[in-house]
């Protein structure tokens, strides 16, 4: 697989992970990681690595990518640290909103909404 396709596949998998139910999200990662953090970090890393000279989103797709990115950014920082726990991942409306935005992006992209593979080459912090 060429680098550009691999980058797009990794990005797709990060979005698909964000769209899953909390129990599925937990199963995608090893027990020692903070799942909420990893979901957001994985998305950010994969989004930033997309080759902008190759990847072209439609206006609708770009709007949905930006909405998801902005929603995650709005949850970041010390003022929102309560959103980055396992309980918040399960119960916080902010995470429900993230899941909905991810599902909308998946639909706009024409991707499968099934969980991504758990062995997708992630590096954990």
DSSP character at residue 34: -
Prediction pTM value? 0.91
The helix or strand, by DSSP H or E, that contains position 95, with its residue range, turns out to be: helix 93-109
pLDDT in tens, 28-67: 989 888 999 999 999 999 999 998 776 789 999 999 999 9
* Residue boundaries of the structural domains of the chain: 3-109
pLDDT in tens, 57-111: 999 999 999 999 999 999 999 999 999 999 999 999 999 999 999 999 999 999 9
123: confidence class by pLDDT, cuts 50, 70, 90: low
Q: What angle do CA 14, 77, 62 make, to 5 degrees?
A: 40
- Cα separation, 60 vs 80, in Å, equals 29
């Amino acid at each position: 697989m060429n680098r550009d396709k691999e980058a797009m596949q990794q990005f797709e998998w990060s979005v698909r992970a964000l769209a899953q139910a909390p129990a599925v999200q937990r199963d995608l990662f090893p027990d020692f990681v903070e799942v909420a953090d990893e979901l957001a970090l994985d998305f950010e890393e994969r989004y930033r690595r997309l080759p902008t000279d190759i990847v072209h989103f439609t206006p609708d797709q770009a709007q949905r990518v930006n909405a998801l990115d902005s929603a995650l950014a709005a949850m970041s920082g010390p003022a929102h640290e309560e959103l980055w726990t396992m309980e918040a991942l399960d119960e916080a409306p902010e995470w429900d909103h993230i899941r909905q935005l991810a599902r909308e992006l998946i639909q706009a992209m024409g991707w499968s909404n099934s969980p991504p593979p758990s062995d997708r080459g992630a590096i954990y912090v």
